[in-house]
C-alpha cells in the first residue's frame, strides 16, 4: 500500500521537528465509512475538551477561554480552528496529543 504524506501548515510546527511531515492513515481515505468514524471520534474528543456543539450547525463547536471565543468547524475529514493566536496555539497542543 502507498503511504501519503503532507507538509505541516503554518502554526503546526513542533520545535526541533520543523522538517517533519504528517503521514496520513490509509483507512481514512479508502473506507466508505471512515469520514463518519473520524467525525464521531472528533465530536467525542471536542466535547471532552468542553467545547459546546452548536444547535444550528452540528459541525460547529465553540468554547470561551479567558473571555475569548475559540471556534472549531469540522468539514468532511478536516477542521478549521479560529481564535486569537495564543488560544489557537493552546488548542493545537490539546488536539495534537
Instruction: Specify the pLDDT at position 2.
Output: 63
Judge whether 63 and 69 are in contact, CB under 8 Å.
yes
Instruction: Specify the pLDDT at position 81.
Output: 83
Judge whether 40 and 26 are in contact, CB under 8 Å.
no
Whether pTM exceeds 0.85: no
Judge whether 81 and 71 are in contact, CB under 8 Å.
yes
Judge whether 72 and 51 are in contact, CB under 8 Å.
yes
Q: pLDDT tier at 96 (50, 70, 90 boundaries)?
A: low
Instruction: Specify the pLDDT at position 30.
Output: 59
Query: Percent helix, strand and coil across the chain, each rounded to 5?
Result: 35, 30, 35
Q: Count of domains in the chain?
A: 1
Instruction: Specify the pLDDT at position 66.
Output: 83
Could you list the residue range(s) of the whole structural domain that residue 46 is in? 4-96
pLDDT over 60 at 28, yes or no: no
Chain Cα centroid distance, residue 41: 11
Amino acid at each position: 500500500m502507498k503511504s501519503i504524506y503532507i507538509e505541516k501548515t503554518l502554526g503546526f510546527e513542533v520545535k526541533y521537528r520543523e522538517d517533519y511531515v504528517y503521514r496520513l492513515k490509509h483507512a481514512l481515505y479508502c473506507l466508505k465509512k471512515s469520514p463518519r468514524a473520524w467525525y464521531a471520534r472528533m465530536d467525542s474528543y471536542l466535547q471532552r475538551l468542553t467545547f459546546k456543539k452548536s444547535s444550528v450547525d452540528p459541525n460547529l463547536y465553540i468554547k470561551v477561554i479567558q473571555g475569548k471565543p475559540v471556534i472549531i468547524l469540522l468539514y468532511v475529514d478536516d477542521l478549521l480552528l479560529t481564535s486569537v493566536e495564543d488560544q489557537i496555539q493552546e488548542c493545537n497542543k490539546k488536539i495534537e496529543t
